[in-house]
């Protein structure tokens, strides 16, 4: 078993990573409150809730199954969940456990941040994307029809429990979407890890347990290090948004249906890397390595065709806009990144035309 520590003073916590961790929940969560509200969805609960229930038999558990899908990371789900919490008599000394992917985790976290002004929160991420990214770092949110994650809070979990066995039931598409966020860590923070990913792309495609254990651990270590330096995203944490400004535009333009978050991030990362190549921030050979790795992992490398004005209008709704200027995260070679708002419309339009 691996244990990654997120150092945030009194809000520090551990990320436990191993196969079969669901069965160890009692030991891994020694301080878990008696009354536990588990947020999940039917897809995940049918596979894993029984194991959680068995491991936490001494607790009083209530399961709430929200509908499955990004469109349910919404105000109406938030209302339905809080109604249930109140109806079941959950008070301030309860705990909320997210059992699911990033959608369940983001929503459960936002409920935990606001219910009784904040109750204990635990993450049991079950998709690869949520294991390497969304369950760590305390960003919680719901979507608004006008944009993704527009309503939310920074709220750290008390612990994150990752069970590699959960990945066995993930669809191929959802599994590959998680690989996109793993590649991101190599590009922005760790060139050696990027190289390791190139060397282990086949093993990862086959869901090799040892390759996954390392890839998840390294991704969590990088995220933990970045979050410890900049919890509220006033600096380096923004690097984690590589590909996301373009990705969110793709997701919004396709109405959160045709593209998964990870797929949109993959195509967005290619656009950002191409911009880096064009502006001499990244060599052409490094750009080709990024392109090849995404292709080998069978992730989309081309964004949907969209008019430049539409790209701009979607990107301007992003939270990363300041004084009406869009902040872009661009890789500086491999292993480093920077945030810039100094791109001209001509540079942007040329690259978007090339990458769509
Ligand atoms: N908070 C953050 O820092 C952060 C970071 C990245 C992404 N996100 C958010 O995460 C969300 C995307 O997360 P996601 O990719 O996990 O999507 P998701 O939660 O929609 O899960 C994808 C699909 O996999 C299913 N699923 C989950 N676990 C499964 C399992 N073990 N077996 C079978 N099916 C399973 C889900 O029911 C769903 O149908 C987006 O809303 C995105 O904005 C948040």
* pLDDT tens-digit readout, 88-112: 999 999 999 999 999 999 999 999 9
Strand partners, 40: 65
Catalytic site includes residue 263:
no
CATH topology of domain 2-169: Rossmann fold (3.40.50)
According to the annotation, is 58 in a ligand binding site? no
Question: Quick one: pLDDT at residue 323?
Answer: 75
CB atoms within 10 A of CB 313: 14
Residues in the ligand 1 pocket, defined by CB under 6 Å: 41, 43-44, 47, 68, 70, 73, 100-104, 106, 126-127, 129-130, 133-134, 137, 139, 149, 166, 169-170, 174, 177, 260-262
139 is catalytic: yes
Catalytic residue among 184, 248, 289, 320: 248
What is the rounded distance in angstroms from the CA atom of residue 309 to the CA atom of residue 207? Answer: 40
Active-site residue (options: 65, 181, 231, 251):
181
Identify whether 47 is a catalytic site residue: no
- 21 has catalytic annotation: no
CATH 1.20.1090.10 residue ranges of the chain are: 172-355
The residue nearest atom 37 of ligand 1, judged by CA position, is 43
Instruction: Compute the distance from residue 279 Cα to the ligand 1 centre, in Å.
Output: 34
Judge contact between 156 and 8, C-beta under 8 A. Answer: yes
Query: What superfamily would CATH give domain 172-355?
Result: Dehydroquinate synthase-like - alpha domain (1.20.1090.10)
pLDDT tens readout for residues 328-354: 999 999 999 999 999 999 999 999 998
pLDDT tens digit at each of 356 positions of the chain: 889 999 999 999 999 999 999 999 999 999 999 999 999 999 999 999 999 999 999 999 999 999 999 999 999 999 999 999 999 999 999 999 999 999 999 999 999 999 999 999 999 999 999 999 999 999 999 998 877 898 999 999 999 999 999 999 999 999 999 999 999 999 999 999 999 999 999 999 999 999 999 999 999 999 999 999 999 999 999 999 999 999 999 998 887 778 999 999 999 999 999 999 999 999 999 999 999 999 999 999 999 999 999 999 889 877 667 777 899 999 999 999 999 999 999 999 999 998 88
Neighbours of 68 (CB within 10 A): 17
pLDDT of 146:
77
270-314 per-position pLDDT tens digit: 999 999 999 999 999 999 999 999 999 999 999 999 999 999 988
- Enumerate the CATH 3.40.50.1970 domain ranges in the chain, comma separated: 2-169
């Amino acid at each position: 078993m691996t244990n990654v520590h997120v150092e945030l003073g009194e809000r520090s916590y551990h990320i436990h990573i191993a196969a079969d961790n669901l069965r160890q929940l009692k030991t891994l969560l020694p301080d878990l409150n008696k009354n536990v509200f588990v947020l999940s969805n039917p897809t995940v609960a049918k596979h894993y809730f029984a194991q959680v229930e068995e491991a936490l038999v001494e607790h009083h558990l209530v399961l709430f199954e929200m509908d499955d899908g990004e469109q349910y990371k919404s105000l109406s789900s938030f209302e339905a969940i809080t109604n249930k919490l109140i109806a079941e008599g959950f008070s301030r000394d309860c705990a909320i456990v997210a059992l699911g992917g990033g959608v369940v985790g983001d929503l459960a976290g936002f409920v935990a941040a606001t219910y009784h002004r904040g109750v204990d929160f635990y993450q049991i991420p079950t998709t690869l994307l949520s294991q390497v990214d969304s369950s760590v770092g305390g960003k919680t949110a719901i979507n608004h029809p006008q944009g993704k994650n527009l309503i939310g809070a920074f709220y750290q979990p008390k612990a994150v429990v990752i069970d590699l066995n959960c990945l066995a039931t993930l669809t191929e598409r959802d599994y590959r979407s998680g690989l996109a966020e793993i590649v991101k860590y190599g590009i922005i923070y760790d060139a050696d890890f990027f190289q390791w990913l190139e060397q282990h792309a086949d093993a990862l495609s086959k869901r090799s347990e040892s390759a996954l254990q390392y890839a998840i651990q390294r991704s969590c270590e990088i995220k933990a290090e970045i979050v410890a330096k900049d919890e509220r995203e006033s600096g380096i944490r923004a690097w984690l948004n590589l590909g996301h400004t373009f990705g969110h535009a793709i997701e919004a333009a396709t109405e959160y249906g045709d593209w998964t978050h990870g797929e949109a991030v993959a195509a967005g990362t290619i656009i950002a890397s191409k911009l880096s190549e064009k502006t001499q921030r990244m060599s052409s050979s490094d750009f080709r390595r990024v392109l090849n790795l995404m292709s080998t992992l069978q992730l989309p490398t081309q964004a949907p065709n969209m008019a430049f004005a539409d790209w701009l209008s979607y990107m301007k709704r992003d939270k990363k806009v300041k004084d009406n200027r869009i902040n872009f995260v661009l890789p500086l070679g491999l292993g480093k990144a920077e945030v810039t708002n100094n791109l001209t419309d001509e540079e942007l339009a040329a690259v978007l035309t090339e990458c769509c």
